[in-house]
Amino acid sequence: MFAYMIRRLVTMALTLLAISFLVFVIIQLPPGDYVTTQIEEMIAQGTAIDAKRAEFLREEYGLNQPFIYQYATWVWGLVHGDLGYSFEHNLPVADVVGDRLFFTMVLNVATVIFIYAVSFPIGAYSATHQYSWNDHGITFLGLLGLATPNFLLALILMYFANVWFGTSIGGLMDPIYQNQPWSFAKFGSVLAHLWVPVLVIGTSGTAGMIRRLRANLLDELQKQYVDTGRAKGLPEGRLLRKYPLRMALNPFIADIGSLLPQIISGSVIVSFVMSLPTTGPMLLDALQSQDMYLAGSFLMFLALLVVVGMFLSDILLAILDPRIRLEGTVGQ
Amino acid sequence: MTHPTDPDRLPHRVSEKPFVFDDEDALTPEQERYYMASQWKMMWWRFKKHRIAVWAGAILLVFYLVAALVEVVAPYGLETKNVRFKYAPPQAVHLFHEGSFYGPFVYPYKVTRNLETMTRVFTPDTTKPSQIRFFCWGDKYRFWGLIKGSFHIICPPEKSTMYLLGSDSLGRDMLSRVLYGTRISLTVGLIGITISFLLGISIGGAAGYFGGWVDKSVQRVIEILRSLPELPLWMALSAALPANWSPILVYFGITVILGLLDWPGLARAVRSKLLALREEDFAVAARLMGAPPKHIIGRHLLPNFMSHLIASATLSIPSMILGETALSFLGLGLRPPVTSWGVLLAEAQNINAVALFPWLMIPMVPVIIVVLAFNFLGDGLRDAADPYR
């Protein structure tokens, strides 16, 4: 178990390193750098440009250095918790993002929990009642959930949440709590606002997970050990809980690998629509204004969430399933 | 009759009937039809049994037909605007006027201003039914940007307007714009999937056939790409497209970006199939006869699972269409005058649109229909892909 964990940790670190390189290449892609964009803007506004100042800025930000050197500096900083400097806001990135990263994590973790909590019972029901009207209904709703762009769902749900429940539009808490320290009232307010984005982001994921659990469980239910259990007189509920559900649970948890990127993609666009204090809206701004270190930090953080999530799910799987623990691979 | 020398031996009997070689295997005509059918024909039979998939295919065919003939199908031109009719709500089509049959017509809008809220108020003028024209001459257009014309299948009534799905902030007909969006939104998926298909086959093919370090490194790259959230990456890449590119170039840029990140799934499928197939007898035979790898992969292995690939490619088109919609909605994707469903939805970005002008969200309906149709079609194709099962 310990050796397995170490091996997984090493692969995780290597993956993150590769991702950081990819992210750095991407944020470097736009032609020119932040200073050129700035100078162009100043020319457009008719302000005189100070060549010396431009040179100073480049020097200051290290934009003159060769690519590899810039990359190495950036990664070295990341490892030490220094996220770089935001050109747009004239502040260190760490100060700009504030608790956005924390809220992003809260939002995504809540969505994962929501998806698992909802899709497990529904998927199990759907599989045990195959081809019943309820099963058809669930399948239809699930397909609709897969097909609807979630940003539109966000808009519509936001409207109805406001009309029916009077939840204030946008944000993760009532405006009065914005700058207050954490308290139970603030926590309650966050919870009251959290359900709309969680529901919206979770819809397509839930739909996918229900379909997958249903398929897995249907495969298991056809196996002979189920008949054997039934023949020796096990009650249906106990039979289901004791054997096929446990077998179907394994790929269900392993699927977090495809679920997490999807949730995070969803949370980016949904938080833009609902203007949540998470990474989404600011990432968009940063990308548009070529604020490369800010954008890079957000991209890295989102990738980190996925990679760490996968790591945790692998550990969980290893605890659940001795085959993985002993062989070191996810058997599917 | 006993044996001449050995009386204990049993006599043996030879049938007097003439010997016909394949007499016992005679097939009924149906069986013959079935056994002699080509693989593609059998897949078609199998596919036809999947009723929903057939319907989905038909719906998609209609959508692509519309995409090909937009200029003729749409009642208005893409940019035809009427400033008097900003944000006009959808008009209903009526058939009966004052109890008698009149043919399809609309009641033209009377526009008044509500001076308190400073908004336009549209009231249908029920005294003047105006007939919708069919097969008529209306707004001028250039068919696919080339041939001039003005023929439409359906036109607004003469000296009146017709907004069956309402109008937008500039008084442009939503129906026509949604129809024009079909062309862009549907081709994005097709071009994107072509790119990802080519990449997936060549990279996955190389990994599966050569194995060894090629396979290992491809596997690692796929793992890394799959652990990245798609949308933020798409956003970052499309933000990197130069701002001075023409809308058409941006369109191609976006499709390339969508295709570039989609190949890992296909490559994985190709790889695992190849790994299984290359040890089959026919592949070994080809290798022993000295066929080069390119020939073996392309001629013997690929045709074996092409149908599977087509099915899984169909299933990944929806994510591209949704991706384009999301990017355009965020303002990072296509830009006007290129009009896709995502570009149209970008106008419905704020909650006011939902509350005041809900018809601006109509482009969402074709998105849902097309995505669902591609999913059903893909399911049907996947079931049909292996007709021998």
Rounded to whole angstroms, the Cα distance separating A315 from B223 reads 18
Q: Out of A15, A260, A273, whose CB is closest to B224?
A: A15
- Per cent of chain A over pLDDT 70 is 84
Residue B227 and residue A155: Cβ atoms within 8 Å? no
- Per cent of chain B over pLDDT 70 is 96
Residue owning tokens 């991702």: A19
Q: What is the pTM of this model?
A: 0.83
- Per cent of chain B over pLDDT 90 is 8
pLDDT of amino acid B55: 93
Chain B CB contacts of A24 below 8 Å = none
- pLDDT score of A65 more than 70: yes
Q: Domain segments of chain B: what residues?
A: 71-166, 176-385
Rounded to whole angstroms, the Cα distance separating A265 from A277 reads 16
pLDDT of amino acid A175: 66
Residue A269 and residue B326: Cβ atoms within 8 Å? yes
Q: Out of A147, A162, A287, whose CB is closest to B368?
A: A147
Say whether B279 sits in a helix, a strand or coil.
coil
Residue A264 and residue B229: Cβ atoms within 8 Å? yes
Chain B residue closest in CA terms to A31: B242
Confidence of residue A33 (pLDDT cuts 50, 70, 90): low
Interface test with A, best of B231, B260, B328, B368 (most A CBs within 10 A): B231
Question: DSSP of B8-51, one letter per residue?
Answer: TSPP-----SPP-TTSTT---HHHHHHHH--HHHHHHHHHHH-H
Q: CATH for B176-385, among 1.10.10.10, 3.90.1150.10, 1.10.287.610, 1.10.3720.10? A: 1.10.3720.10
Q: Out of B236, B330, B355, whose CB is closest to A272?
A: B330
Interval A143-164 mean pLDDT: 82
Mind telling me how many Å the CA of A234 is from chain B's nearest CA? 34
If residue A86 lies in a helix (H) or strand (E), which one and from where to where?
Answer: strand A85-86
Interval B3-30 mean pLDDT: 71
Please name the residues in contact with B52: beta carbons below 8 A apart, sequence gap of 6 or more: B376, B379, B380
The single-letter DSSP state of residue A168 is P
Chain B residue closest in CA terms to A149: B322
Interval A250-269 mean pLDDT: 84
Interval A301-306 mean pLDDT: 88
In chain A, residues 202-261 whose CB comes closer than 8 Å to chain B: 257-258, 260-261
pLDDT of amino acid B63: 93
Chain A CB contacts of B228 below 8 Å = 19, 22, 261, 303, 306
- Per cent of chain A over pLDDT 90 is 4
What confidence tens digit (pLDDT) does each residue in B230-263 have?
Answer: 888 888 888 888 878 888 888 888 998 888 888 8
Chain A residue closest in CA terms to B237: A26
Residue type, B383: D
Which domains occur in chain A, in start order? Answer: 2-97 (no CATH), 99-320 (1.10.3720.10)
Chain B residue closest in CA terms to A261: B229
- pLDDT score of B68 more than 50: yes
- pLDDT score of A118 more than 50: yes
Tell me whether A70 touches chain B (CB under 8 Å). Answer: no
Mind telling me how many Å the CA of B262 is from chain A's nearest CA? 13
Averaged pLDDT score across all residues of chain A: 81
Rounded to whole angstroms, the Cα distance separating A276 from A269 reads 10
Averaged pLDDT score across all residues of chain B: 83
Confidence of residue A220 (pLDDT cuts 50, 70, 90): confident
Confidence of residue A60 (pLDDT cuts 50, 70, 90): low
**Count of CB atoms situated within 10 Å of the CB of B276:** 13
Chain A residue closest in CA terms to B318: A147
Residue type, A19: I
Per the model's pLDDT, the better-predicted residue between B197 and B120 turns out to be B197
With contact defined as beta carbons under 8 Å apart, do A264 and A305 qualify? yes
Q: Out of B239, B348, B368, whose CB is closest to A287?
A: B239
pLDDT of amino acid B38: 78
pLDDT of amino acid A331: 41
Residue A159 and residue B355: Cβ atoms within 8 Å? yes
- pLDDT score of B321 more than 70: yes
Please, what is the end-to-end C-alpha distance for chain A in angstroms?
19
- pLDDT score of A242 more than 70: yes
Give start and end residues of each alpha helix (H) in chain A: 2-28, 34-45, 51-61, 67-79, 93-97, 100-128, 133-147, 150-160, 184-221, 224-231, 236-242, 244-254, 256-273, 279-288, 292-320, 322-327
Please name the residues in contact with A102: beta carbons below 8 A apart, sequence gap of 6 or more: none
Residue type, B205: G
What confidence tens digit (pLDDT) does each residue in A164-176 have?
Answer: 877 666 667 766 6
Confidence of residue B2 (pLDDT cuts 50, 70, 90): low
Q: Quick one: which of A153, A165, A247 has its CA closest to A200?
A: A153
What confidence tens digit (pLDDT) does each residue in B159-175 have?
Answer: 777 888 888 888 888 88
If residue B13 lies in a helix (H) or strand (E), which one and from where to where?
Answer: none
- pLDDT score of B23 more than 60: no
With contact defined as beta carbons under 8 Å apart, do B109 and B196 qualify? no
Chain A residue closest in CA terms to B240: A30
What confidence tens digit (pLDDT) does each residue in A276-292 have?
Answer: 888 888 888 888 877 77
Q: Quick one: which of A31, A4, A19 has its CA closest to A290?
A: A31
pLDDT of amino acid A330: 45
What confidence tens digit (pLDDT) does each residue in B118-148 have?
Answer: 777 787 777 777 777 888 887 788 888 788 8
Q: Which of A68-82, A208-222, B19-33, B299-313 has the least mean pLDDT?
A: B19-33
What confidence tens digit (pLDDT) does each residue in B78-113 have?
Answer: 778 777 788 888 888 888 877 777 778 888 787 777
**Ramachandran category for residue A46: left, alpha or beta (phi over 0 → left; psi -120 to 50 → alpha):** left
- pLDDT score of B313 more than 80: yes
Tell me whether A107 touches chain B (CB under 8 Å). Answer: no
pLDDT of amino acid A131: 81
Chain B CB contacts of A19 below 8 Å = 224, 227-228
DSSP E strand boundaries for chain B: 94-97, 100-106, 109-114, 119-124, 130-131, 133-143, 147-155
Residue type, B94: H
Interval A270-276 mean pLDDT: 84
Rounded to whole angstroms, the Cα distance separating A193 from B52 reads 39
Residue B227 and residue A298: Cβ atoms within 8 Å? no
Chain B residue closest in CA terms to A18: B224
Interval B363-376 mean pLDDT: 90
